Structure 1
Amino acid sequence: MPIRTNRGRAAVYRRLWSWPLRSPAHLVGTLVMVVAIVVSAGIVIPRLLGDPGRAGASPGAGAATTTSPGTSYSSTVGPPETRLTAPLVSPTTAPPAPEALKVAEDWAAAWVDHPQGTTIDQWLERLRPLTTEEYLPVMRSVDLGNVSATRVTGKPRATESFTSSIKAEVPTDGPTLSITVIKTDVGWRVSRYDQVG
């Protein structure tokens, strides 16, 4: 029999909404139904719309799919497997940049310049314009008393030269310095040195 009054409709709606709260069994049954509906929707809707993560693969297919040269994966096996198809490329050699050799020479001249009474801060200030910011804290650990050289005795000679870095040897009246100069955003800067003789 159809419901003809608003009071009758309200009573029916109230009975429907209050049904889960009548007993713990009704509440548990309602929660189970809601969870089942959500899970079913989560399974059915992606199949209807098409899952973008599996585009181009048929459901249940376990065949390997190639995404780019040298990389393949299987949709059922696990994480991607990377294969290198080309050997690693070594840095490109190049003639030594005159600016880089000049920086090595000027840096060596500042390195040997430490008259009696020079503090580490004064010495580092002379090296700062020619040194990378990352290497300056390492230079702070140098004991000036152990720097025996007092002057540069020759021109720098490149022992390795690439497009963005060079290694040059600069002779002094003490040890020969092996200085690595790299190309940075602010120009050529010294990033390391060693005493080789």
Structure 2
Amino acid sequence: MPIRTNRGRAAVYRRLWGFPLRSPRHLVATVVAVAVVVIGIGVVIPRLLGPQGGSGPAAAGSSSSTQPSATTDVTSAPLSTRLTAPLVQPSSAPPSQEALNVAESFVRAWASHPAGITNAQWLDGLRPYTTVEYLNAQMASVDPVNIPASRVTGDPVVVASYTSSVQVLVPTDGPKLSVTVSRTSDGWRVSGYDQAS
């Protein structure tokens, strides 16, 4: 049986590995020291590698001179990954009368739900005015019995108008509906609606 003494290499290793377990204070000090070392490495290494992380053209060395460059007008400044504005700003345009007619017709069909109408019959009434995606994904789950309106009570009012979409407010005897009409390959179609506040 080996005799453990306070001398020798194994004893030194036992003392080092046993240090964090001697007391809670030693454990906390060890965790803090390890965290400081890890954060320090995380800060120092990127500074040593530079802004491109060692994977740019300078790190490629002589092999990049033998391969032709795909683009020659690339700047060396790093690209920002933060989006500060939409990629394409929609252009405002005068509202299309066809879009207004589609919005009003959609709301009339939406509010038309006589007693005994099935969901399939109600959806068939909405089909000519609604995009296929919106009809199948959103409108198919709506029960016509829960519609809080029965008729349109006024003319549609344009809230916002762009070249490819129009947002229209349509009053009913229940809530006002905010309807989004989008230009599609089939013409103007409703791509969304919500109750206006």
**Structure 2 residue aligned with 1:31:** none
SS of residue in 1 equivalent to 2:69: helix
- Structure 2's unaligned 5+ residue stretches are 1-61
C-alpha distance after superposition, 1:67-111 (max 9, x if no partner): 15xxx138xxxxxx3359xx7552111111101000001101100
Is the CA contact 2:160–2:167 (under 8 Å) kept in the aligned structure 1? Answer: yes
What TM-score do the two structures reach when normalised by structure 2? 0.59
**Structure 2 residue aligned with 1:140:** 140
Q: Give distance in 2, aligned partners of 1:182 and 1:115.
A: 28
**Structure 2 residue aligned with 1:129:** 128
**Structure 2 residue aligned with 1:102:** 101
SS of residue in 1 equivalent to 2:179: strand
Q: Give distance in 1, aligned partners of 2:154 and 2:70.
A: 66
C-alpha distance 193-52 of structure 1, shift in aligned 2 (>3 A): same
Q: Give distance in 2, aligned partners of 1:192 and 1:135.
A: 7
Alignment of 1:46-85 (within 5 A): 50-53=66-69, 67=73, 72-73=75-76, 81-82=78-79
**Structure 2 residue aligned with 1:120:** 119
**Structure 1 residue aligned with 2:43:** none
SS of residue in 1 equivalent to 2:110: helix
Question: Runs (4+) of structure 1 moved beyond 3 Å?
Answer: 44-47
C-alpha distance after superposition, 1:10-30 (max 9, x if no partner): xxxxxxxxxxxxxxxxxxxxx
**RMSD (Å), alpha carbons:** 2.8
More strand by share: 1
Larger radius of gyration: 1
Letter in 2 for 1:124: L
* Cα drift, residue 148 of structure 1: 2.1
SS of residue in 1 equivalent to 2:115: coil
Pairs aligned (count): 132
Identity of aligned residues (%): 49
C-alpha distance after superposition, 1:25-76 (max 9, x if no partner): xxxxxxxxxxxxxxxxxxx9997xx431389xxxxxxxxxx615xxx138xx
Q: Give distance in 2, aligned partners of 1:134 and 1:95.
A: 26
- Structure 1's unaligned 5+ residue stretches are 1-43, 56-65, 75-80
What TM-score do the two structures reach when normalised by structure 1? 0.59
Is the CA contact 2:113–2:145 (under 8 Å) kept in the aligned structure 1? Answer: no
